[in-house]
């Protein structure tokens, strides 16, 4: 064993210790405020020209056109391996099926005689999807944002992603986008992508909601977007997994799941909670063994240095901790995983049973992988069809309805000293009786 990994262990931690573990790293964006402000100002003043300048500066490439041509999108599928195309298509199908099942079933409710209320959903008119660059193309995120946007029937779906050194976009990104019916793809990365979606330029349409992950600049720019009245998907933070295991688990699988989270980045949050003391050593052994074979080992090791292994004697205390931590991803490593469902109050996405790795949800099970981090699972849901729609409430009242309910409305309006509100009912009642 040629690694000295030493993960912090907590045996039946007290509440105070527990609270310390649930603390997430603070994401500092204030120091970036002035550079973000500069980027927004530049895009605001110079539009496309500013974006091209910033692209030359940050992405080291000069672009003639910011937009990916239609022909490049259509040809993309010829430039990726058939096997990958098939895998992306399978993922697309599963994500489509699950998100399509989230459609609002509009139910008309007669709340009282002649008073009918219901909700209808409408796609958000225009949405911007940001797909970060990096060493590998994040086509999975294209699907996770593009599929619900497609189902929601958003009228305008704009995708921004940084160009590579040749000034092009990876064909797997374009292929995934085309599956989702996205035709407006811009080669813009970082804060300038967010700024262009917020402000609008000659090429890039202004949108009303922005989605997608990114580095601290993108995060800071998304916070700036809110100031401009543009909505965003979720507050962003480093990715997280919490694996819970009882004795009916496979330490090798647990280690693999913890590592799959750890390899995302040095700031990945990795927690292992168990009520089976005896499996801890086996999990650690598997971790060491698997790490030695991992290409992104140094990244994973940095993340694991901040990891925690926590043993609870009491199942209730274990879930008290889990709900207090509110993990983005929660894996229930047990042959009887469904027994624990009722105990889960706060989590983004839950993976039940020994055959359900988090990576299934990252790519292809059908659930979304854009999820609340940093404890926001206490108050936010992950991205779903809901994120791309508004639910508008409708009501209609018949003559019988206003006769029946009207006097109560008048009474309450008078008590709240809103005579105009009472009068709006009164004029109607008078017209009926007269």
* Nearest distance in Å: CB 82, its own copies: 11
d(CA 192, CA 417): 50
Q: Binder to its own copies among 21, 42, 117, 315 (CB under 8 A)?
A: 117
> How is residue 173 written in tokens?
């990104």
Q: Among residue numbers 195 through 214, which ones bind its own copies (CB under 8 A)?
A: 208-209
* Secondary structure class of 6 (helix, strand, coil): coil
Which CB sits closer to its own copies, 64 or 415?
415
Out of 183, 290, 306, 335, the only residue in the binding site for its own copies (CB under 8 A) is: 290
Q: Which of residues 369-398 bind its own copies (CB under 8 A)?
A: 372, 374-382, 384, 386, 389-398
Q: At closest approach, how far in Å is the CB of 190 from its own copies?
A: 20
* Position 94 contacts its own copies (CB under 8 A): yes
CA 235 to the chain's CA centroid = 9
Radius of gyration of the chain (CA): 26
What amino acid positions are annotated as catalytic residues? Answer: 328-329
List the x/- string, 399-428, binding to its own copies by CB under 8 A. x-xx--x-xxx-xxx-xxxxxxxxxxxxxx
Residue 185 or residue 337: which is nearer to its own copies going by CB?
337
Number of residues binding to its own copies, judged by CB under 8 A: 131
User: Which of 140, 192, 219, 373 forms a contact with its own copies (CB under 8 A)?
Assistant: 140
Please say whether the beta carbons of 137 and 173 come within 8 A: yes
User: If you count them, how many residues does the chain have?
Assistant: 434
Site membership for its own copies, residue 310 (CB under 8 A): no
Return the number of other C-beta atoms located less than 10 Å from residue 138's C-beta.
Answer: 19
* 168 lies in the binding site for its own copies (CB under 8 A): no
Which residue, among 183, 180, 171, 178, has the nearest Cα to 136 in the 3D structure? 171
Site string for its own copies, 234-253 (x = CB under 8 A): -x--------------x-xx
HEC letters along 276-330: CCCHHHHHHHHHHHHHCCCCCHHHHHHHHHCCEEEECCCHHHHHHHHHHHCCCEE
- Binder of its own copies out of 28, 136, 316, 434 (CB under 8 A): 136
By the 8 A CB rule, do 177 and 68 touch? no
Let me know: does 376 contact 326? Beta carbons within 8 Å: yes
CB of 300 to its own copies, least distance (A): 7
113 near its own copies, judged by CB under 8 A: no
Does position 354 bind its own copies by CB under 8 A? Answer: yes
x/- track of binding to its own copies for residues 38-67 (CB under 8 A) = ------------------------------
CB of 239 to its own copies, least distance (A): 11
For its own copies, the binding residue among 2, 34, 78, 83 (CB under 8 A) is 83
d(CA 182, CA 157): 6
Is residue 195 within 8 Å of residue 230, measured between CB atoms? no
Nearest Cα to Cα of residue 274 among 4, 3, 7, 5:
7
């Amino acid at each position: 064993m040629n690694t000295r990994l030493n993960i912090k262990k907590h045996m039946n931690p007290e509440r105070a210790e527990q609270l310390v573990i649930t603390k997430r790293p603070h994401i500092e964006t204030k120091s970036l405020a002035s550079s973000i402000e500069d980027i927004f100002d530049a895009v605001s003043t110079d539009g496309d020209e500013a974006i091209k300048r910033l692209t030359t500066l940050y992405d080291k490439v000069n672009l003639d056109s910011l937009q990916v041509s239609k022909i490049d999108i259509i040809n993309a599928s010829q430039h990726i391996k058939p096997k990958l195309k098939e895998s992306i298509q399978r993922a697309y199908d599963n994500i489509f099926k699950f998100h399509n099942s989230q459609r609002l079933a509009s139910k008309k409710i007669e709340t009282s005689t002649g008073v009918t209320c219901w909700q209808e959903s409408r796609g958000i008119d225009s949405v911007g999807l940001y797909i970060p660059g990096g060493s590998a193309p994040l086509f999975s995120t294209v699907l996770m944002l593009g599929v619900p946007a497609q189902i929601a029937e958003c009228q305008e779906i704009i995708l921004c992603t940084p160009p590579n050194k040749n000034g092009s976009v990876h064909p797997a990104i374009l292929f995934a986008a085309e599956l989702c019916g996205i035709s407006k793809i811009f080669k813009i990365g970082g804060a300038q992508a967010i700024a262009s979606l917020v402000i609008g330029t000659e090429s890039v349409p202004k949108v009303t909601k922005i989605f997608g992950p990114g580095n601290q600049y993108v995060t800071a720019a998304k916070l700036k977007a809110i100031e401009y009245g543009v909505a965003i998907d979720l507050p962003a933070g480093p990715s997280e997994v919490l694996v819970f295991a009882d004795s009916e688990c496979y330490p090798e699988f647990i280690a693999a799941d913890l590592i799959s989270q750890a390899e995302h980045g040095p700031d990945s949050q990795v927690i292992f909670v168990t009520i089976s003391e005896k499996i801890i050593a086996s999990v650690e052994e598997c971790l060491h063994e698997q790490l030695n074979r991992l290409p992104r080992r140094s990244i994973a090791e940095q993340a694991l240095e901040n990891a925690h292994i926590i043993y609870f004697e009491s199942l209730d205390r274990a879930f008290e901790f889990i709900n207090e931590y509110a993990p983005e991803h929660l894996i229930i490593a047990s042959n009887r995983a469904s027994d624990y469902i009722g105990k889960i109050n706060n989590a983004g996405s839950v993976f039940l049973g020994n055959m359900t790795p988090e990576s299934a949800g990252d790519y292809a099970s059908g659930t979304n992988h854009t999820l609340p981090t940093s404890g926001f699972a206490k108050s936010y849901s992950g991205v779903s069809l809901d994120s791309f729609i508004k639910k508008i409430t409708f009501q209609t009242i018949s003559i019988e309805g206003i006769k029946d309910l009207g006097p109560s409305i008048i009474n309450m309006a008078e008590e709240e000293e809103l005579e105009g509100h009472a009068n709006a009912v009164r004029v109607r009642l008078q017209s009926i009786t007269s």
